[in-house]
Structure 1
Amino acid sequence: MAALREVVICSPLRTPVGRLAGALAPLTARDLAVAVLRALVERTQLDVAAVDSVIGAQGYPTMESPALGRVAALDAGFPVTTTGYQLDRRCGSGLQAVLNAAMEVQTGAADVVVALGVESMSNAPLYTEEGRRGLPAVGLLLHDALTRGRETAGGVDYPTPDGNVGTAETLRAEYGISRHDQDALALRSHQRAVAAQDAGAFDAEMVPVSVPGRRGPVVVERDEHPRADASLDALAALRPVLVGADPEATVTAGNSSGQNDAAAACIVTTPPHARRLGLTPALRLRSWAVAGVDPRRFGIAPVPATLRALDRAGATLGDLDVLELNEAFAVQVLACLADWRLDPEDPRVNPRGSGISLGHPIGATGIRILATLAHELPALDGTLAVETLCIGGGQALAAVLERV
């Protein structure tokens, strides 16, 4: 078998992250995907005829854009020769799109692939599986895709009836993590994100989005989710989601990730093809790994996934300049850091905020993190980073990335 080719990631870009039912809510997932693809082409002057495929990641699809990568590519002006498909690994979907693209490029199955991640949680569907068989006497039951996807991700044998919040509370009890420590981490996340936002640190990675409005188009060019007014007192005043069933519950909307809208994309190719197309590589993929754990404690899965990826790269946690550990929940981050024996205030961990402050549009998050990493590594004069995300249903992805 021929040796695997070197893979580089070029020009990761993202839209602003919108709040649930916020500024980006009028746009569908396809709208957001097309916007970021067009911006990627415009910024890089990419020859779209050279793109073999667009891999689209989305956690809450509808049949308005089946095989999202293909539909978004066509709507964005890519030629009909550009193939595409769609994948779902829940919170890891965006990073998985990058890794699938990398494998295609490494093996020579493709030379240039665009990885795309998108989510419009504001437009996640309500659905039924019953209507085609006739109308039941009690009427049709509509499931909320957002809620249902969290309840069923463990299948029949590993039920998670309280969704991801219930699994976060499991880690809280197992690790003895206090409400105060969760809220303190959430506050740091907001403070870091707001500081980065105010300093213009996100500007280079972000593309503005035009949203139709009653008085004409409105341009959205700033993340909506970071809270400059966050405080420990305000966070402490929030009611835990499951306190009715568990008086010791601690997980609140304030120390959990947001439900959000956004899109992100990047180009995955080899160094020679990047030079030929006039692209500037930002990151090199050193290694990656996936790990599985009990779905009822899914938030701890980044621990084995990260250690496995680091081992494959011949590196350790001590070698990292940045550790981007997506904040699904503050308690989940604290549990992972405890297993790694890292200080929760370690400046290498999410230096510009993460899911609690920036939001978590699940299909887009993995590439959103890449876009941030591509700019924060040189700003911090760093070389080596890990991106890792826990995944509802008991999985995690981790990638070791090197600044080019």
Structure 2
Amino acid sequence: MTALREVVLCSPLRTPVGRFGGALAPLDARALATTVLRALVERTGLDPAAVDSVIGAQGYPTMESPAFGRVAALDAGFPVTTTGYQLDRRCGSGLQAVLNAAMEVQTGVADVIVALGAESMSNAPLYTEQGRRGLPPGGLLLHDALARGREMVGGVDYPTPDGNVGTAEALRAEYGISRQAQDALALSSHQRAVAAQTSGAFDAELVPVTVPGRRGEVVVDRDEHPRADASLDALAALRPLLVGSDPAATVTAGNSSGQNDAAAACVVTTPETARALGLEPMLRLRSWAVAGVDPRRFGIAPVPATNLALARAGATLADLDVVELNEAFAVQVLACLADWGIDPEDPRVNPRGSGISLGHPIGATGVRMLATLAHELPSLDAELAVATMCIGGGQGLAAVLERI
């Protein structure tokens, strides 16, 4: 068997992250994806004809863009020779697109792949499975894809009727994590994201998005989700989402990730091909791993996934300069850090914020994290990092990456 080839990630870029129903809401996921793909080509000088495939990650698709990667590539002006497909590993979808691309490049199936993640949660569909065989009594029932996905992600045998919030509360009870600790982590996340935003730290990774409107076009060039006015008092005033059924509930909208809109992309190739095409490698993939846990405590899954990825890389937690751990919920982050023995105030953890402050556009998050990581490692004079996240339905995904 041919030896696996080395894989590098070039020029990861992202759009700003929009709030739910916010500035990017007029654009669907395909429009956001098209924007970031065109920007990737423009900024890198990459000839689209050199791209073998576009792997598109999306958590809430519709048949307006079937085989999402292929459709986005065509809309972005890539030639018909560029293939593409769509994948969904929920919160890990964007990172999985990068890893799938890496495997194809490593094995020689492809030389240049664009890994794409996009989500417009503002436009997640309402859908029905009824009606094809006649109108049922009482009319058609429409499901909200956002809520339904969280309820059904554990299948029949692992029900999650309270969605991801219920699983977060399960970790709160299991680990004895206080509301105060959750709110403190949420505040720190906003403070770090706002500081990075104010300093211009995100500028190099951002692609402005032009949004049409009744009063003309608007250019969105900043993340909407970070809150400069966040405070412990404001966070403490928020009502827990499940307090009606659980008086001990602590998870609020303030200490949870947002529902957001964004797209992100990067080029995955070999060092030799990158040189030939004039691309700038920024990250080298060293190892990765996926792990499964009970869907009803899915937030802890980054622990076994990261532990396995580090073992495969021949590294330990102590070797890491940066830990990018997506903040699905503050309580979930705190549980993972407790298992690892890492202090929540450790500066290595999410130096520029994460899901609570920056938002969590499901399909785009994994590539968004890599875009941030690729630009923060040089600024921190750091070398080794892990990007990891929990995944609704009881999975964790982790990748160990080196700065180039």
Global fold match (TM > 0.5): yes
Cα distance in 2 for partners of 1:262, 1:311 equals 32
Unaligned runs of 5+ in 2: none
Matches within 5 A, 1:179-198: 179-198=179-198
- 1:74-126 alpha-carbon deviations (Å, 9 max, x no partner): 01000000000000000000000000000000000000000000000000000
- Aligned residue number for residue 333 of structure 2: 333
Does 2:199 correspond to 1:199?
yes
Q: Alignment partner of 2:241: what SS?
A: coil
What's the counterpart of residue 306 of structure 1? 306
2:211 maps to what in 1?
Answer: 211
Residues 1:397 and 2:397 aligned together: yes
Q: 2:144 maps to what in 1?
A: 144
Query: Secondary structure at 1:131's aligned position in 2?
Result: coil
Give the drift of 1:9: 0.1
Q: Alignment identity in percent?
A: 86
Match status 1:41 vs 2:44:
no
Q: How big is the shift at 1:131?
A: 1.3
Q: Distance in 2 between matches of 1:89 and 1:163?
A: 16
Q: What is the match of residue 125 of structure 2?
A: 125
| CA deviation vs aligned residue, 1:179-227 (integer Å, no higher than 9, x gap) | 0000000000000000000000000000000000111110000000000
Per the alignment, residue 296 of structure 2 pairs with 296
| In 1: Cα distance, 2:394 partner to 2:96 partner | 15
The amino acid that maps onto 2:76 is: A
2:212 partner letter? P
Write the distance in 2 (CA, Å) between the matches of 1:14 and 1:181: 31
Q: What displacement does 1:378 show?
A: 0.4
Unaligned runs of 5+ in 1: none
Q: In 1, distance between residues paired with 2:389 and 2:300? A: 10
Deviation by residue 1:323-370 (Cα, 9 ceiling, x = unmatched): 000000000000000000000000000000000000000000000000
Amino acid in the other structure paired with 2:174? E
SS at match of 2:364: helix
Matches within 5 A, 1:204-283: 204-283=204-283
The list of structure 1 runs, each at least 4 consecutive aligned residues, that deviate by more than 4 angstroms after superposition, is none
How far did residue 134 of structure 1 move? 1.0
Listed as ranges, the matches of 1:308-387 within 5 Å are 308-387=308-387
Residues 269-299 of structure 1 deviation map (CA, whole Å, 9 limit, x = unaligned):
0000000000010000000000000000000
Q: Which residue of 2 aligns with 1:8?
A: 8
Number of residue-to-residue matches in the alignment: 404
Please, what TM-score do these two structures have when normalized by structure 1? 1.00
* Mapped partners of 1:77, 1:273: distance in 2: 22
Q: CA deviation at 1:152?
A: 0.3
- Aligned equivalents of 1:319 and 1:133: distance in 2? 59
Alpha-carbon distance in 2 for matches of 1:244, 1:17: 31
What code does the residue aligned with 1:58 have?
A: Q
Cα separation, 2, equivalents of 1:378 and 1:57: 27
Q: Counterparts in 2 of 1:20-169, with a 5 A limit?
A: 20-169=20-169
Work out the CA distance in 1 between the residues paired with 2:377 and 2:274. 20
Q: Partners of 2:131 and 2:96 in 1: how far apart?
A: 33
What is the rounded CA distance, in whole Å, between the counterparts of 2:209 and 2:53 in structure 1? 24
User: Separation in 1 of the partners of 2:109 and 2:352?
Assistant: 36
Counterpart CA distance in 2 for 1:31 and 1:358 is 20
Deviations 1:29-88 (A, max 9, x none): 000000000000000010111100000000000000000100000010000000000000
Partner Cα separation in structure 2 for residue 256 and residue 222 of structure 1: 21
Tell me the amino acid that sits aligned with residue 5 of structure 1. Answer: R
Following the alignment from structure 1 to structure 2, what is the Cα–Cα distance between the partners of residues 132 and 123?
A: 24
Q: Distance in 2 between matches of 1:317 and 1:380?
A: 18
Question: What's 1:17 paired with?
Answer: 17
Which residue of structure 2 lines up, in the alignment, with residue 174 of structure 1? Answer: 174
Structure-1 separation of matches of 2:132 and 2:249: 41
Matched residues in 1 for 2:280 and 2:37: separation?
17
CA distance in 1, matches of 2:82, 2:52: 5
Distance 2:155 2:239 in 1: 29
Q: TM-score, normalised by structure 2?
A: 1.00
Q: Secondary structure at the match of 1:363?
A: coil
Could you say what secondary structure the match of 1:169 adopts?
helix
Q: How big is the shift at 1:395?
A: 0.1
In structure 1, how many angstroms separate the alpha carbons of the residues matched to 2:272 and 2:49? 17
Structure 2 distance, partners of 1:133, 1:341, is 56
Q: Distance in 2 between matches of 1:74 and 1:66?
A: 12
Distance 1:305 1:217 in 2: 43
Q: CA RMSD in A?
A: 0.3
- The separation in 2 between residues aligned to 1:153 and 1:326, in whole angstroms, is 19
How far apart in 1 are the matches of 2:137 and 2:311?
A: 58
Aligned residue for 1:133, secondary structure, equals coil
Letter of the structure 2 residue corresponding to residue 295 of structure 1: P
Q: 2: distance between equivalents of 1:250 and 1:28?
A: 33
Work out the CA distance in 2 between the residues paired with 1:12 and 1:389.
18
Deviation at 1:133, TM superposition (A): 1.6
The amino acid across from 2:96 in the alignment is Q
Amino acid at match of 2:135: L
Q: Which amino acid in structure 2 is aligned with residue 379 of structure 1?
A: S
Distance in 1 (CA, whole Å) between partners of 2:133 and 2:199 is 56
